[in-house]
Structure 1
Amino acid sequence: MKLVKIISLAALMTMGISYGTFAQNKIEWKQATSGGYTYKYVADDPTQARFYTLKNGLTVILSPSKKEPRIQTYIAVKAGSKTDPSTHTGLAHYLEHLLFKGTDAFGSLDWSKEKPILDQIDALYEQYNTTTDETKRKSIYKTIDSVSGEAAKYAIANEYDKMMGAMGAKGTNAFTSFEQTVYTEDVPSNALNKYLAVQSERFRAPVLRLFHTELEAVYEEKNRGLDNDGRKVIEKMFETLFPNNNYGKQTTIGTVQDLKNPSLLEIRKYFNTYYVPNNMGIIMAGDFNPDEVIKEIDKDFAFMQQKAIPPYTFEPEKPIANPIIKEVTGPTPESIMLGFRFLGASSKDAQMLELVGNILTNGSAGIIDLNLVKKQKLLGAGAFPYVLKDYSTLLLQGNPTDGQSLDDVKNLLLGELENLKKGNFPDDLISSIVNNERKRIIEENENYGSRASNLMSNFTDETDWKDKVAYVNDLSKITKADIVAFANKYLGNNYVAVYKRQGEDKNIVKVDKPTITPVSVNREAQSDFLKKVNAMPENKIDPVWVDYKKDIQRGKSGSYDVLAVQNKDNALFRLYYQYETGSWANKYLPVAVNYLEYLGTQNKTAEQFSTDFYKIASTWNITASGESTTISIDGLQDNFNKAVSLFQDLLQNCKVDQDALAAYKLSMKKSRVNKKLNKGAIMSGLRNYAIYGPQNPFNNELTDAELDALTADQLVTILHDLANFQHRILYYGPKTASEIGTQLLAVHKAPASFKPLPVAKKFDQLTQDKNKVLFANYDMVQAEVFWVRNADNYNATEQPTISMFNEYFGGGMGSIVFQTIRESKALAYSTYANFSLASRKEYRNSAMAYVGTQADKFNEAVGGMNELLNELPESQKALDNAKEGLRKSLATDRITQDGILFSYISAERMGRDYDIRKSTYDATPNFTFADLKTFHGKELSNKPYTYCIVANQDKLKEEDMKKLGDFKKLTLEEIFGY
């Protein structure tokens, strides 16, 4: 491992020693042979990745890591919406959904009977596709619906998800972008043979079954996108930057017109064209022997045959000579985005963008960070590169504060580009960025998932991994003069500006609800292939539980208790001060800790503090929640004293800044207005109202009058008092608890006596005695519904049953809820249900469910969920699968690093001194359906619920909502408390 070298170099740099004076190994491609296979690797690569190319052209990238007995896998195809036919946009995304439906070997009860019906459906869709007469189209679709119902009798819905679930897989999913479609799993290391068997079969000959219900799920996804103003801004930006390239000519999810006219023949053609081995990669990181894995992959995927890939061609984009201004409208707050176009990922210019982005915005010491955000000239702002194969873009985004126009925001952002072009930034900013990039790389390589993700992106971008490994070294060679020259060459009036206006979007055309008859999901059925996979041998992985007495070191630092877990992998530390008080005791506290961002001391400005932290690759943060407050500081252990002392100075010696408070109040007022325009925030408010009533944690906010009366002295007093409250110290790093306790004595001294913690306000959870409806109006295409019911107080003995019930009922794609609401009835893109555990032992658990659906399917979707809440469907096969999956997932789950400390705190708050996962693991084999039915009857069935509904009042009938229970339309002031 080369991580120690990287850290020591970074530490030496912080002492002012030049990076260039150290000899380094040459970062270059090398070749080796092991286990009978030749591979390439990059010298000094901290991921230790091996790059194989099999005889059929399949790329395999393997990065072994033994820390956890799991493997993050990606199967990536270098094809996405960019290569969609112009007459069938959204096709790559369709195909992604259908790759979960099985083949002739799995997902089918009887392929010989199913195939002729599917062929009939193919022909019907082609007829539907070419028919323009609406009466005839409705007649054809009615036939499609009928024939699809017949085909579904032979289909086994979600059999793929069942197989992966039984292995103990997590994160079963896929995604499609401009030039990639990627299938992702996180599997136990002992199930790799099963995983590969399923994947090789999955890509052998996929069957496009259950198409019309899945098509409806894509419709729902499209409508969710129409409700997403951020997506609309990006789509408008790309449409304007790339008028000649499919980045801008078509979107990943496709047009409404193309969604309404799918072609299964075109989908198969796309699969046969692009899903070929020389256009695909299998990327893995985790606990495995690469010599064994490459042999298994070669055997399982040898059937794939190499084919020529049609090149994507496009007319080069013309230079942008003058600013191009565009607008989009929607219900969310106003903002502006600027975009500059650059060459693609493999170009040197694109590689420079990441550094330019960091100079502008790095969260601490970037030009925009210091000049605009820290000085509160904007509500928020940032810059980030978006790098793709053909072109890249540098995007700048800004949010106005109170009284600002979008033109004001644009001019401020452009002003910082002028500072960049003039070199108005510190000479040592690049070396600070190098330090922080080294730290980021160390943190990423701690996690096998991050390793796999980075390697996958490199594969689909078609960039050189050697350049990634050498990135930090290359950064250190770039000078300030290089940056200034680059900025002056590329960042002029050649930009696109997209103004996001607040208001009604009159151009939205939603995808209307088709008539779909619920189809069979055949829960009890199993294919021979599934049985064969489940029967494959696997080595047992023994679970590892946390022993809080052995795994946590305990020490003292003066009057403070210290809990520590030693970091034996690298030289990073993470330090936490944990207070048992929060906003319920003082609702001014969250305001005060955010105000600290803009404060300095007698000797340092706020900007100097940010710069000083960034120079030593350290960060700090304060989070004030309802009943707890946590201060966190992280960085390199060599800089521990410097980072802790720096924060201590800021917290204890911060001084009143009236100008900062005036600007902060303006920002707060604007943020409060903006929050009322966010449908997610509105739903959170409704849920809190349902759980606690009119006075609840969500609206425990300052009133407008309290905000106006707020003084800087009040807030600074609160901040200074934090040092006078008792708190626990949590530490993850290279030192022992005893060592760090001693080290902290000099930099984090306790007061002579502690002030008593303020008494917290109590919020009592309601008892739902009858059905109620809480409604909030919002300009949106979809309708979102949340069911809430408070149950009994937390009881540790019930937790294994709750875990088992959630796994069976509403946890994932193979669960009862997902199969019924989405797969069978096509009523929602997103749906789930669970029995939610309390956050502390004195609080009550909650039964919750969710459906996001089209407004015209509201009654059906709510009725479908209510059926499941009232009557638990029985499936022994689904239960066996859930038991197997839960047990294997627990056996391979590892709580590590500072996760051990937070697991302990969570257990302590629940009244436990042991790892509850062991109880669940031991109990899982003995659960019966009768146990789950008893639990369902006790906690969910025929119980009163509060329905929280966010929707457009013009698209949802009030009388339909009133049928559910006592109806109350809440105002935004009732929801938010101001």
Structure 2
Amino acid sequence: MHSSVWAIIVSVRLRRLLAILIMLTILSWRLVPEVTLAKTQTASPPQQLLQISTTQTPSVSSSIQPYLDRAIKRVTKFSLDNGLKFIVFERHQAPVAFFVTYADVGAVDEPDGKTGMAHFLEHLAFKGTTRIGTKDYQAEKPLLDRLEQLNAQIKTAKADGKQDEVARLQAEFEQVESQAAKLVKENEFFQIVSQTGGDLNAATYLDKTVYFYSLPANKLELWMSLESERFLEPEFRREFYQERDVILEERRLRVENSPTGLMTEKFLETAFTVHPYRRPGIGYEEDIRNLTPKDVQQFFETYYIPSNLTIAIVGDVNPAEVQKLAKIYFERYLAKPKPNSQIPVEPPQTQIREVTLRLQSQPLYVEGYHRPALSHPDDPVYDIISGLLCCGSTSRLYKSLVEQQQLALDVAANPSVPDDKYPNLIIFSTTTTSGHTLDELAAALHQEIEKLKTEPVSATELQRVQTQIKAAVLGNLNSNMGMARVLSEYEAKTGSWRNSFKYLDQIAAVTPADIQRVAKATFSPENRTIGKLLPQQR
């Protein structure tokens, strides 16, 4: 199973342009199979705080605008009458295509007490529909109905302390579940796609849920049929309870049984007081255990509506043919208004916050600072700051903490944690070498951060980071997958896919004065959250 709990990204917002390509993961969850869609895993949360890259991006020409202009001319956008948007990027070098369905919904949209629904729904979206994934839906449906009834009755009997009743109901539940399992066509979505030489996967994040396919280009209509069917009449009750157990095991493995997983969860709970970014995207154990198919169905009906979906297709396709088929398959969806966001605004932090855990683990130091969202004009400045400080052998933190002072084994930074649609955190983390303390690391880290406030960055150093980002963009232009994800995300989060091409102009416009200004506004003690993971005392 490909996993993803919190998508791993290198140090700058080439995250959106490069990390999408490498598809490693941290703050988000996924879940699709290498061999089976029934089992899924979640990558370890700590990776979000520990993302490290020592790879240096090759330099490129100072101007890549001609490449971008040619790419822009190959993009076609259209909307269906129900509000669903399509973005098509023509690339005819090879007879393949990459498809992304971007749902503008994630863990932040879950109500308190029902965390984990976005991730759970993404798991269940591979279980099939009333036609796909079943041998006989008319025989399967009453069994699924009965399982729902029995699950509710078991909860009531447990609450009333009726253990004999619980045992009787549980025995019937297992019998009905076994009968229902015999009617399931395991992993039929995956089997259909793999038989064509394609692949499919998905990822749940705090701000979004992304479903993606790679297929031969002549399978365009097959994709249209499968993907439109998936969200037209999904059957979320199929293998619901088995999947719940899989997710609970994921949580135990990646959080309860992982020191850095626990640190990640506790750190975000400390850094955020009211915003949903404080909650784990995989959900809390009690919430996951109590979720029902009706909860997931209601969440789906609220957020998986045409106006909340953006589809990007990149590869050897014809935009006119895409639009023709899209009308046939996707205009079957009923139009609904986009749901109103009721997400609370995180108040300004006014004093240092700290969380310390003692576990069987190597010492780890983490600190984060609140920063604005992706849409803020200073967003590129944070990417530059992250690139200056970390990572790789030429970065300031690596040279100072690892090479010169030999205080740290390695250093890491992420300019946007846990996601970037809303105001978030810029994070730094590091692990100690033998004989040194976390407090020594913290002091050395603060010295480097203070330099950003007091000493203008040289033109040479700034240009190095800007060049690395340019190189990443060029690499992204060669990836169907990267372009599909970038185009759909910028369309959903910023209002236009074109903004993804403006990013380099914004990066190029960052000045040493901008870096000092943002550093002074951000890196203050009262805006700091600290996390310390210490070995257990004997």
Smaller-chain TM-score range?
0.7 to 0.9
**Deviation readout 1:332-355 (Å, 9 max, x if unpaired):** 321111111112221113332111
Q: Work out which of the residue numbers 200, 203, 218 in structure 1 matches 2:228.
A: 200
- 2:147 equivalent to 1:116: no
Match of 1:240 among 253, 263, 270: 270
- 1:321 Cα shift? 2.0
Q: For 1:73, which of 99, 111, 114 is the aligned residue?
A: 99
Aligned residue number for residue 205 of structure 2: 177
**CA offsets, 1:496-543, max 9 Å, x none?**
011122349xxxxxxxxxxxxxxxxxxxxxxxxxxxxxxxxxxxxxxx
User: Which residue of structure 2 lines up, in the alignment, with residue 824 of structure 1?
Assistant: none
Is 1:481 paired with 2:507? no
Counterpart position of 2:412: 382
Give the equivalent residue in structure 1 for 2:530: 497
| Separation in structure 2 between the aligned mates of residue 128 and residue 261 of structure 1, nearest angstrom | 12
Match of 1:446 in 2: 478
Cα offset, 1:63, TM superposition: 1.7
Q: Which amino acid aligns with 1:317?
A: E
> Aligned Cα RMSD in Å?
2.5
SS at match of 2:248: helix
Question: CA–CA distance in 1 between the matches of 2:335 and 2:533?
Answer: 46
Partner SS state of residue 425, structure 2: strand
Q: Secondary structure at the match of 1:105?
A: coil
Q: Name which of 132, 136, 143 aligns with 2:159.
A: 132
Q: Deviations over 1:158-191 (max 9, x none)?
A: 2222111212112x22221112122222111122
1:102 to 111, 128, 138: 128
Pairing 1:216–2:245 present: yes
Q: 1:296 to 1:371 in 2, by over 3 A?
A: same
Aligned equivalents of 1:71, 1:464: Cα separation in 2: 22
Give yes or no for contact 1:350–1:392 (8 Å, CA) kept in 2: no
Aligned to 1:188: 216
Matches of 1:460 and 1:252, distance apart in 2: 20
Q: Deviations over 1:294-326 (max 9, x none)?
A: 221221111111212332223322222221110
Structure 2 distance, partners of 1:198, 1:377, is 53
CA separation of 1:337 and 1:115: change in aligned 2, threshold 3 A: same
Q: From the superposition, tell whether residues 225 and 252 of structure 1 become closer, same or farther in structure 2 (CA, over 3 Å).
A: same
Which residue number in structure 2 is paired with residue 416 of structure 1?
448
SS at match of 1:348: coil
Taking the TM superposition and a 5 Å limit, the aligned residue runs for 1:453-602 are: 453-462=485-494, 464-493=496-525, 494-503=527-536
1:260-280 CA distances to partner (integer Å, 9 max, x unpaired)? Answer: 222111111111111111001
The alignment-based identity, stated in percent, is 25
Cα distance change of structure 1 residues 377 and 153 upon mapping to structure 2, 3 Å threshold: closer
CA distance in 1 between partners of 2:243 and 2:73 (Å): 38
Whether the 8 Å CA contact 1:346–1:463 is kept in 2: the answer is no
Distance 1:302 1:314, change over 3 A: closer
Q: How does 1:926-965 map to 2 (within 5 A)?
A: none
Compared CA separation, residues 334 and 48, structure 1 to 2 (3 A): farther
Q: Is the CA contact 1:129–1:263 (under 8 Å) kept in the aligned structure 2?
A: no
Q: For residue 469 of structure 1, what is the amino acid of its counterpart?
A: F
Deviation of residue 45 (structure 1)?
A: 4.4
Counterpart of 2:270 in structure 1: which amino acid? T
Aligned length, in residue pairs: 471
- SS of structure 2 residue aligned to 1:397: strand
Is the Cα–Cα contact under 8 Å of residues 69 and 287 in structure 1 kept in the other structure? yes
Distance 2:206 2:448 in 1: 30
SS at match of 1:231: helix
Equivalent in the alignment of 1:282: 311
Report the alpha carbon displacement of residue 201 of structure 1 after superposing the two structures with TM.
Answer: 1.1
Matched letter for residue 500 of structure 1: L
Aligned CA distance change for structure 1 residues 429 and 189 (closer, same or farther; 3 Å):
same
Indicate yes or no: 2:458 matched with 1:432.
no
CA distance in 2, matches of 1:410, 1:339: 12
The change in CA–CA distance for 1:424 and 1:480 in structure 2 (over 3 A counts) is: closer
Whole-Å separation in 1 of the counterparts to 2:74 and 2:262: 40
Q: 1:867 maps to which residue?
A: none
Q: Give the corresponding residue for 2:351.
A: 322
Matches within 5 A, 1:521-920: none
Aligned-partner residue type, residue 68 of structure 1: A
CA distance in 2, matches of 1:459, 1:12: 28
Q: Secondary structure of 2:297's partner?
A: helix
Answer whether contact 2:487 2:500 (CA < 8 A) is retained. no
Show the counterpart of 1:151. 180
CA distance in 2, matches of 1:199, 1:438: 34
Tell me how far apart the structure 1 counterparts of residues 87 and 357 of structure 2 sit (CA, whole Å): 41
What are the superposed Cα offsets for residues 806-833 of structure 1, whole Å, 9 maximum, x if unpaired? xxxxxxxxxxxxxxxxxxxxxxxxxxxx
Q: Distance in 2 between matches of 1:333 and 1:164?
A: 43
Amino acid paired to 1:280: L
Pairwise CA distance, 1:380 = 1.0
Equivalent-residue separation in structure 2 for 1:68 and 1:404 (angstroms): 53
**DSSP 3-state at the match of 1:283:** strand
What amino acid does structure 1 have at the position aligned with 2:244?
Answer: L
Aligned partners of 2:82 and 2:331 also within 8 Å: yes
Contact 1:47 1:451 in 2 (8 A): no
SS at match of 1:478: coil
Change (3 A) 1:326 1:242: same
Q: Distance in 2 between matches of 1:322 and 1:68?
A: 55
Flag the 1:304–1:11 CA change in 2: closer, same or farther, 3 A. closer
Counterpart amino acid of 2:452?
L
Q: 1:155 to 1:50 in 2, by over 3 A?
A: same
> Residue 458 of structure 2: SS of its match in structure 1?
coil
Partner of 1:401: 433
Residue 206 (structure 1) shift: 0.7
Amino acid at match of 1:178: L
- The structure, 1 or 2, with the larger RCO (C-alpha pairs under 8 Å, 6+ apart) is 2
Partner of 2:295: 266
Secondary structure of the 1:374 match is helix
Do the aligned partners of 2:384 and 2:466 also contact (CA within 8 Å) in 1? no
Unaligned runs of 5+ in 2: 1-58
Q: 1:313 to 1:349 in 2, by over 3 A?
A: farther
Distance 1:225 1:360, change over 3 A: same
- How many Å separate the matches in 1 of 2:134 and 2:309? 27
In structure 2, what is the equivalent of residue 90 of structure 1? 116
Stretches (4+) displaced over 6 A: none
Shift of 1:214: 1.9
SS of 2:214's partner is strand
TM-score (norm: length of structure 2): 0.82
Matched, 1:228 2:258: yes
SS state at 2:443 partner: helix
- SS of the aligned residue for 2:415 comes to strand
Task: Go from structure 1 to structure 2 and tell me whether the alpha carbon gap of 1:503 and 1:452 turns closer, same or farther (over 3 Å shift).
Answer: farther
Counterpart amino acid of 1:49?
Answer: V
Change (3 A) 1:236 1:45: farther
CA-to-aligned-CA distance 1:214-241 (integer Å, 9 cap, x gap): 2222122122212333333322222122
In structure 1, the partner of 2:23 is: none
The structure that has the greater radius of gyration is 1
Cα pair 2:90 2:315 within 8 Å, conserved: yes
Distance 1:187 1:332, change over 3 A: farther
Residue 163 of structure 1, aligned match among 192, 199, 217: 192
1:81–1:179 CA contact under 8 A, matched in 2? yes
CA distance in 2 between counterparts of 1:356 and 1:79 reads 29
Aligned partner of 1:370 among 377, 399, 409: 399
- Structure 1, residues 60-86: CA drift from partner, whole Å, max 9, x if none? 122222233222222121112111232
